[in-house]
Amino acid sequence: MLITRIEKDGLMGRKTGNALATPIAGALGADVRGIDLSEPLSDDVWAALETAFLDHKVLAIRDQTLDPATFLAFSKRWGDVHFYPYMDGLPEEPEVFEILAKPDAQRIFGNRWHSDQMYDPTPVKVTLLYAKDLPPVGGDTLFSNLELAYEHLSDGMKTMLSGLKIYCDGADKSRYGGMSREQWYAKGGMAEKLNAPEQEPVIGIHPLIRTHPETGRKCLYIGDQVQRFDGMSAEDSKPLLDYLMKHIERPEFTCRVQWEPGTLVLWDNRCTCHYAIADYAGHTRRMHRVTIAGDVPV
């Protein structure tokens, strides 16, 4: 273990962003209160939001009342919508998806450390998730700051990792306990939302050390959609992958968002991983979700 205490300020560059955003942990994440996304945002507020997003990587914007069209309009200010092939959207807004966990769900969407759609040659930039129905308690989401995770590797390890590429396969059944994506969705109670695409890209090969296109900061770009390192077998890759996956889960790199009615969370998939906690059996959790298209990772 390289460190006993996270040195954040030197790494993050900026400290607390601005008055709009209040950090919720040392590593990443901030609460945003006092704005109403159903009203047009002033240029100042919009600029403060963008700065806070790059500073904190995860923003929990509280107390919103958004219909799907308004949610989508706000989402589109972050870029073009990323097409998610595997699910049908809402009838009234096909670019907005409903993520549903029924009380008897046996699988919870996102219940593993991952960054969204790493198996896509151009993975998602921003995911926006808006709470519609929450369990009485539980259903929080964890996030990990992959820039901190990178910084806290030793120099020798950084050098060793610098040329590696990750090989991600979105159709790999081992991720779903041997099940197809269809079977997996059905276990979560979302069978009726399934869309079965024929010709969608499912292989992404990306640099393991990714440079953020806006901030220039490096991160350890890894998540459970990585099968192996490019040019290496799964068997050869496993010890190092296991080590790095464990590394990014260190509590010091993480924050935990507790959802409230009306919370909208947006996160930067280019430098974070997240994990949906499956601790609310017997209750419903329903979210609206939009994903925004990103760049080819470099």
The distance of closest approach from Cβ of residue 54 to ligand OGA in the complex, given in angstroms and rounded to an integer, is: 20
CB of 269 to ligand OGA, least distance (A): 9
Select the span of 52-60, 103-111, 155-163, 209-217 touching Mn ion (CB under 5 A).
Answer: 103-111
Active-site entry in 107, 274, 285, 288: 274
- Asked if 116 interacts with Mn ion (CB under 5 A), we say yes
Is 247 part of the annotated catalytic residue set?
A: no
Catalytic, 116? Answer: yes
Three-state SS string over the chain comes to CCCCCCCCHHHHCCCCCCCCEEECCCCCCEEECCCCCCCCCCHHHHHHHHHHHHHHCEEEECCCCCCHHHHHHHHHCCCCECCCCCECCCCCCCCCEEEEECCCCCCCCCCCCECCCCCCCCCEEEEEEEEEECCCCCCCEEEEEHHHHHHCCCHHHHHHHCCCEEEEECCCHHHHCCCCHHHHHHHCCCHHHECCCCCCCCEEEEECEEECCCCCCEEECCCCCEEEECCCCHHHHHHHHHHHHHHHCCHHHEEEECCCCCCEEEEECCCEEEEECCCCCCCCEEEEEEEEECCCCC
Closer residue to Mn ion (CB): 17 or 185: 185
* Binds 60: which of Mn ion, ligand OGA, none (CB < 5-8 Å by kind): none
| C-beta closer to ligand OGA: residue 70 or 258 | 258
Instruction: Assess whether 270 carries a catalytic annotation.
Output: no
Complex with ligand OGA: residue 30 or 60, whichever CB lies closer: 60
Can 169 be counted among the known catalytic residues?
A: no
Which of the following is catalytic: 107, 114, 217, 285?
A: 114
State the binding partner of 129 from Mn ion, ligand OGA, none, CB within 5 to 8 A by kind.
ligand OGA
Query: Which one of 115-123, 140-148, 250-258, 285-293 is the stretch in contact with Mn ion (CB under 5 A)?
Result: 115-123
Handedness of CA 267, 213, 79, 8 (dihedral sign): positive
CB nearer ligand OGA, residue 110 or residue 294: 110
In angstroms, give the least distance from the CB of 24 to ligand OGA. Answer: 15
| Sites of contact with ligand OGA (CB under 6 A) | 99, 109-110, 116, 127, 129, 141, 274, 276, 287, 289
Q: Contact positions toward Mn ion, by CB under 5 A?
A: 110, 116
Indicate which residues carry an active-site annotation.
114, 116, 274, 289
